[in-house]
A and B are shown apart, each in its own frame.
Chain A
Amino acid sequence: MYIADTIAAISTPLGEGGIGILRISGPDARRIAERIFLRTNSGGLLSHRFYYGEIVDPASLSPLDEGLMVFMRAPRSFTREDVVELHCHGGYLLVQQILALILNQGARLAAPGEFTRRAFLNGRIDLLQAESVIDVIRGKTDAALALAQHQREGRLSRLIAEARQHLVHVLALLEAYVDFPEDEIGGFHREQLDSRCSAAQLIIAQLLGSYDEGRVLRDGVSVLIAGKPNAGKSSLLNTLLREKRAIVTAIPGTTRDMIQEVVNIGGLPVTLIDTAGVRETGDEVEQEGVRRTMEAIPRADLVLFLVDGSRPYDSDDELICTALTGRRFLLVKNKSDLTEMMELPTGLSEVSPLVISTKTGAGIEHLKEAVCREFLHGRAVDSREFVALSRARHRDALVKCQSALVQFGESLAAGLPPEIVAVDLREALSALGEVTGETTPDEVLDLVFSQFCVGK
């Protein structure tokens, strides 16, 4: 019914939680796990036992994390295949890195709902359950579609599409050479082929580089909370995180440095930056904090300008307001549980504030939606799993594409015939196809017909 290869995915929500769980299912699950997980207990591996050990990169043997591993031998597992679960610390980047390790060992990133689908196909769950799987798949597919639409507008997919376009052209050159007499197409356009190919390779290398640098992957978007002391910045951060992480006291100026947390808002990985309160102060340490906040404002993708609705608008608020000139920000009025004392200055009268109370939780959902809207153009999708998955998918696809292109270059250099080297090129294209959609023969032929005057 399906191809019994080995699949892997992150099973816990990303960006929050103390631990992360990765699941591997399929015939290679055990082999892969034993490559990247070094047990302290070196005896035989028993099924359904927890083992403690280190997660390592098999290439360098450098440890990434310590954690637990459990092996569930088929058929006594959720999918009725060999399954391994790895439990590690729940950092966003860390879990992604471990997933990348697993994929590098030959597992394939699981498609949406694929574990459940396997469970059904292997007779582990019944029809009723399976029908709810269908809904799950649909839900995720719709979210993925919305996300794909969003990403399509992004720089990332524009670049991938550009690389693909180059490769489709290269394929068209090859196919024209194969399928039409040379006198019609003017021979083998090797130079054009080489330049298109290196252009594609450059883009892919850049993209992979940007993954490794990790801004996109690690940070998602950054949202900075700015406000005068005791406006409730740390409380807001904690409310959004749903746990007390920043120190919250009633004494103004408690947060002297910046605190960063990755939080998942409507499927968007958001790095929230809590800052020191901005006010004129004599305290040197506090002054330093204020200076850092003012410097951080231009670097954030979005600023939440937090004001205290129970106090009048004052010069400290004005200080921040001035720093926000020309920046993307949302005005957030806190403490709606207290008596309203604030009148906004004429400069802000055009802006309608989001009214919240970090104490009662009022208005927080609206705030989240507003943040999402800022980035998703009104399409706030709950696809937090997908933001991460599709990225791992992209990386996966790009790595595959890159190695196929290297092979393609070598085959060309070795003087292999065009229809043979086309196999490597098609593999590169089909890797990108996982992101952009397949390249159909008709698309290639269209290009051939538009470029060459062919036909008897």
Chain B
Amino acid sequence: MIVYDRQYDVIVVGAGHAGCEAALAASRMGCATLLLTINLDAVALMSCNPAIGGLAKGHLVKEIDALGGEMGKNIDATGIQFHILNTRKGPAVRASRAQADKQQYRLRMKRILEHQEHLDLKQAEVTALHVEEGRVLGVDTRGGVRFCGRTVILTTGTFMRGLIHIGLVHYPGGRAGDIPSMGLSDHLRELGFNVGRLKTGTPARLDGKTIDFSRLEAQPGDDPPVPFSFSTERIDRPQVPCYIAYTNERSHEIIRSGLDRSPLYAGIIEGIGPRYCPSIEDKVVRFPDKDRHQSFIEPEGADTVEYYPSGLSTSLPIDIQWAFYRSIVGMERVEIMRPAYAIEYDYVDPIQLHATLETKVVQNLFHAGQINGTSGYEEAAGQGLVAGINAVLRVKGKELLVLGRDEAYIGVMIDDLVTLGTREPYRMFTSRAEYRLLLREDNADQRLRRIGHEVGLVPEEEYGRFAAKLAQIDEQLARIRQTRIAPSAMEPDFMEEYGLVGLQNAMSLDQLLRRPDVGWRDLIRLDPTIGEADARIWEQIEIQVKYQGYIDRQLEQVAKSRVLEGVRIPTGFDYATLAGLSTEVREKLAKFQPDTLGQASRIPGITPAAIAILSISLKARSSR
């Protein structure tokens, strides 16, 4: 083994969405960082759909951005269609989504990495970790080189023992067109990690020249497009539409006729797939009454004819794929450029992680992204960012960062993973967050900018702009609380419109804004200066005022749960000697090894009585 003569602070293995954020965070925080990837032409590649964001995922991107990550800026620079979802619902679940120019997205991210100070970018396949006395010291590569690093972050995506399935044909691969990573997961198992297997899939890529778009319904984006990043002023890139297509009964018959050659139904695939992202054959089998399924035909870029038909992923044989895609109206002559496939890959049980994403098995080793059983670019990037930050904090000997469930979706996700583990690829949903009203896209900066600034990822200039925004919100909020309008000062038609006829006493502007049918723009009629301030400021004020009661209720719940979250359970706590716990509870606690009482309380089957006993014992220990 040849030892490379440079000592790194942080080594990141894998340059997908998790790896890029991890490497950027580490190097931007001043640590000597090495990013290793199997294929330097596939940095930040979108292996599945060419889009960023979506319900609950948009929230993750805004949080990454607020903390000083790159994903939001990268999609703003390379997005070709922006759209805000759930606009007809409430403010907490509105979510941003954008189609990306897939090649531009990857190239821009690579450029950012290449020009980042303190960061080396190299192509190599890591086959083993260099571990001594339970602590990681570096990585060994297939090329026989050992790189030394004080911390290592594994972001292996779908590459470990990746196996691609198209019908009954299967072959090793990390992604279509890429080699898999062989040996690393076996090595992790030897180190004491529980390695499991998951499955995911992607649809075919279609030749746009052979699609009759005149027979599909066009779906334009929002105009003007609204950016993800708090730092982006506006989107200049030209925008393109998506299209809507539908399967039909004939498509479903074709699919059913190929089920005997489906690796899923033939039992060849052992990995567990995501229920929220089922293959088309899954949908047809499980919902036989549905006579059609919708698909968005998404452009893969501005300069390519490749299109991604969402919702139509499959692992059926290629001849079935040809017939099935061609059964869709508008696609009668469609040519498949890349076939749809399923992929199985190894992941590591995330229960073996601390909430900092450091493993409990090997010190200074962090895991992020699909290796932890998640799916999705945004989920991966969020973990990568946290792992990157924490690797640096470890190197600097500082306390590691744990985002609370009341602070960020990233916190909810990591806590879910490390507390409960996952048996299928984990995707973020807003329903997973018990404090959903607090975790909005619009206030991600108010939740996380300060943390990003403290760790050194948010530059002074950007932080200054944020502080100014906060001050403006406070100032305007105070003003509308103080400004009282007498009924005599309101126009009669205004009073009629908002059901205020007969009003006796003066009302403050914030009282008016609290009414369900009054928005901040309506207040301009009473006080024209309101129109002069930034709309983003007023949106914040309106949400805070309108949903105050509900937000306060959630804040109360947070205060209560904080107590349990604050009680730490020492590493290696011996549950066997704890009197009063049932065997079942004791075994569960020993298995999950929670870091805090809060985590313990979220393990299924752990009763409040067990938590009481545990808290007494902890108290007794500390007073001893």
> In the complex, A134 Cα to B609 Cα: how many Å?
10
Contact flags B426-469 to A (C-beta < 8 A → 1, else 0): 00011110101100000000000000000000000000000000
Interface pair B616/A134, CB less than 8 Å apart: yes
A453-B554 Cα distance, complex, nearest whole Å: 31
Instruction: Report whether A181 and B85 are in contact in the complex, using a CB–CB cutoff of 8 Å.
Output: yes
CB distance from B42 to the nearest CB of A (A): 22
User: Does B195 sit within 8 A of A, measured CB to CB?
Assistant: no
Min distance, Cβ A366 to any Cβ of chain B, angstroms: 31
Stretch from A172-180, A200-208, A267-275, A348-356 at the B interface: A172-180
Task: Assess whether A449 is in contact with B623, with CB atoms less than 8 Å apart.
Answer: no
Chain B minimum-CB-distance residue to A440 = B604
Q: Considering only CB atoms, which chain A residue lies closest to B282 in the complex? A: A455
Distance in Å: Cβ of B221 to nearest Cβ of chain A: 15
Query: Is the beta-carbon distance between A178 and B49 smaller than 8 angstroms?
Result: no
Interface contact A111-B286, CB-CB below 8 Å: no
CA distance A403 to B447 in the complex (A): 32
- A251: interface (CB < 8 Å): no
Check if B26 is an interface residue, CB within 8 A of chain A.
Answer: no
From A414, which residue of chain B is reached at the shortest CB distance?
B516
Q: Which residues of A366-384 are within 8 A (CB) of B?
A: none
Q: With A179-B429, A423-B550, A444-B431 known to touch, is A454 a contact of B276 (CB < 8 Å)?
A: yes
Q: In residues 102-159 of chain A, which contact B (Cβ within 8 Å)?
A: 111-114, 117, 120-121, 127, 130-131, 133-135, 137-138, 141
- Interfacial chain B residues near A453, Cβ < 8 Å: 278, 283, 286-287, 290, 293
Q: Would you call B85 and A179 a contact (CB within 8 A)?
A: no
The answer to the question of A338 belonging to the interface, with a C-beta cut-off of 8 Å to chain B, is: no
Chain B contact-residue range equals 35 or more
- A3: which of B90, B560, B619, B620 is its contact (CB, 8 Å)? B560
Which residues of B in the span 287-323 have a Cβ within 8 Å of any Cβ on A?
A: 287, 290, 293-294, 296, 310-311
Residue from A130, A422, A441 within 8 A of B432 (CB atoms): A441
Q: How far is the CB of B188 from chain A (nearest CB, A)?
A: 27
Given A1-B567, A127-B623, A141-B607, A456-B430 contact (CB < 8 Å): no
* Cα-based distance from A181 to B275 in the complex (angstroms): 16
Q: Is B91 an interface residue (CB 8 A)?
A: yes
Distance between B497 CB and nearest chain A CB, rounded to angstroms: 17
Residues 72-109 of chain B: 1 if any A CB is under 8 Å from the residue's CB, otherwise 0? 00000000000001100111110000000000000000
Residues of chain B in range 182-222 having any CB-CB distance to chain A below 8 Å: none
Interface string of B260-283 (1 = CB under 8 A from A): 000000000000001111100001
- Nearest B residue to A417 via CB reads B90
Residue of A nearest to B613 (CB): A134
User: Would you call B612 an interface residue if the criterion is a C-beta within 8 Å of the partner chain's C-beta atoms?
Assistant: yes
Q: Please give me the residue from chain A that is nearest to B422 by CB atom.
A: A442
Cα separation A456 to B314 with both chains bound (whole Å): 12
Which residues of the partner chain B approach A423 to less than 8 Å between Cβ atoms?
A: 437, 550, 553-554
A420 within 8 A of B: yes
Q: Which residues of A contact B436 (CB under 8 A)?
A: 419, 422
Is B348's CB within 8 Å of the partner chain A?
Answer: no
Residues B437 and A178 in contact, CB atoms below 8 Å apart: no
Q: Which residues of A contact B553 (CB under 8 A)?
A: 423
B290 and chain A: residue at smallest CB distance? A453
- In the complex, A418 has a CB within 8 A of chain B: yes
What is the minimal beta-carbon distance from A183 to any residue of chain B, in angstroms?
Answer: 6
Q: B55 at the A/B interface (Cβ < 8 Å)?
A: yes
Render B41-54 as a binary contact track against A, CB cut-off 8 A, 1 for contact.
Answer: 00000000100000
Residues in chain A near residue B579, CB distance under 8 A: 131, 134-135, 138
Chain A: minimal CB distance from B412 (Å): 9
| A178 engages B86 (CB within 8 Å) | yes
The reply to whether B516 and A416 form a contact with Cβ atoms under 8 Å apart is yes
Shortest beta-carbon distance, B282 to chain A, in Å?
A: 9
Q: A427 to B437, alpha carbons, bound, how many Å?
A: 14
Residues of A in contact, count (CB < 8 Å)? 46
* A449:B550 contact, CB within 8 angstroms: no
User: Which among B550, B563, B607, B624 has the greatest number of chain A C-beta atoms within 10 A?
Assistant: B550
A residues within 8 A CB of B90? 416-420
Q: A419 — which chain B residues lie within 8 A by C-beta?
A: 89-90, 92-93, 430, 436-437
Q: Which residues of chain B are within 8 angstroms of A121 by Cβ–Cβ distance? A: 616, 619
- The answer to whether the Cβ of B245 comes within 8 Å of any Cβ in the partner chain is no
Chain B nearest CB, measured from A418 CB (Å): 5
Tell me which of B91, B277, B563, B609 contacts A455 (CB under 8 A): B277
Chain B 590-624 interface residues, beta-carbon cutoff 8 Å to A:
604, 607-609, 612-613, 615-617, 619-620, 623-624
User: Chain A's nearest CB lies how many Å from the CB of B311?
Assistant: 5
Q: Is the CB of A456 within 8 A of B613?
A: no
Residues of B within 8 A of A177 (CB): 89
Shortest beta-carbon distance from A135 to chain B in Å: 6
Q: A180 touches which one: B55, B278, B612 (CB < 8 A)?
A: B55
The contact of A179 among B293, B431, B563, B567, by CB within 8 Å, is B431
A7 to B413, CA, bound (A): 34
Q: What's the nearest-Cβ distance from chain A to residue B582, in Å? A: 8
By beta carbon, the residue of chain A nearest B412 is: A441
Q: Is A344 an interface residue (CB 8 A)?
A: no
Interface residue? A345 (CB, 8 A): no
Do B567 and A449 touch across chains, with their CB atoms under 8 A apart?
no
Query: Please, which residues of chain A bring their CB within 8 A of the CB of B276?
Result: 449, 454-455
**Contact yes or no, A455 B550, CB < 8 A:** no
Of chain A, the residue at the smallest CB distance from B436 is: A419
Complex formed: what's the CA distance from A134 to B620 in Å? 12
On whether the beta carbons of A420 and B612 are closer than 8 Å, the reply is no
One digit per residue, 1 when the CB lies within 8 angstroms of any chain B CB and 0 when it does not, for chain A 183-194 equals 110000000000
B604 to chain A, nearest CB (A): 7
Are A415's CB and B516's CB within 8 A? yes
A130 proximity list for chain B (CB < 8 A): 616, 620
Q: Complex: how many Å from CA A138 to CA B623?
A: 22
| Cβ of A445 under 8 Å from chain B | yes
User: Whole-angstrom distance between the alpha carbons of A251 and B287 in the complex?
Assistant: 78
Residue of A1, A420, A444 touching B547 (CB-CB under 8 A):
A420
A137 cross-chain contacts in B, Cβ below 8 A: 580, 609, 612-613
Known contacts A1-B615, A111-B612, A135-B579; A417/B277 CB under 8 A:
no
Q: Collect the chain A residues with CB atoms within 8 Å of residue B277's CB.
A: 455-456
Residues of A within 8 A of B331 (CB): none
Q: Is B385 an interface residue (CB 8 A)?
A: no
Tell whether B36 is near chain A: CB-to-CB under 8 Å.
no
B56 touches A (CB below 8 Å): yes
User: Contacts of A441 on B, CB cut-off 8 Å?
Assistant: 429, 431-432
Q: How far is the CA of A112 from the CA of B276 in the complex (A)?
A: 41
Q: In whole Å, how far is A448's beta carbon from the nearest beta carbon of chain B?
A: 8
A-chain residues with CB within 8 Å of residue B554 when the two chains form the complex = 423
Give the residues in chain B near A131, CB-CB below 8 Å. Answer: 579, 620
Chain B nearest CB: distance from A26 CB in Å? Answer: 14
Contacts of A184 in B (CB 8 A): 294
* CB 8 Å contact bits of A415-455 with B (1 = contact, 0 = none): 11111101100100000000000001100110001000111
List of B residues within 8 angstroms of A114 by Cβ: 612
Q: Provide the bound-state CA to CA distance between A337 and B89, in Å.
A: 79
Given contacts A1-B567, A418-B90, contact A178 B431 (CB under 8 A): yes
Q: Given A1-B619, A181-B85, A417-B90, A449–B430 Cβ distance below 8 Å?
A: no
For B93, list chain A residues within 8 Å (CB).
178-179, 417-419
Can you spell out 10 A-B residue pairs with CB atoms less than 8 angstroms apart? A2-B563, A112-B609, A134-B580, A137-B580, A175-B430, A178-B55, A417-B93, A418-B89, A418-B90, A423-B553
**B interface, CB within 8 angstroms of A:** 49, 55-56, 85-86, 89-93, 274-278, 283, 286-287, 290, 293-294, 296, 310-311, 429-432, 434, 436-437, 516, 547, 550, 553-554, 560, 563, 567, 579-581, 604, 607-609, 612-613, 615-617, 619-620, 623-624
Which residues of A are interface residues toward B (Cβ below 8 A)? 1-3, 111-114, 117, 120-121, 127, 130-131, 133-135, 137-138, 141, 175, 177-181, 183-184, 414-420, 422-423, 426, 440-441, 444-445, 449, 453-456
Additional 5 contacts, C-beta under 8 A, given A1-B615, A141-B609, A175-B429: A133-B616, A175-B431, A181-B55, A423-B554, A440-B604
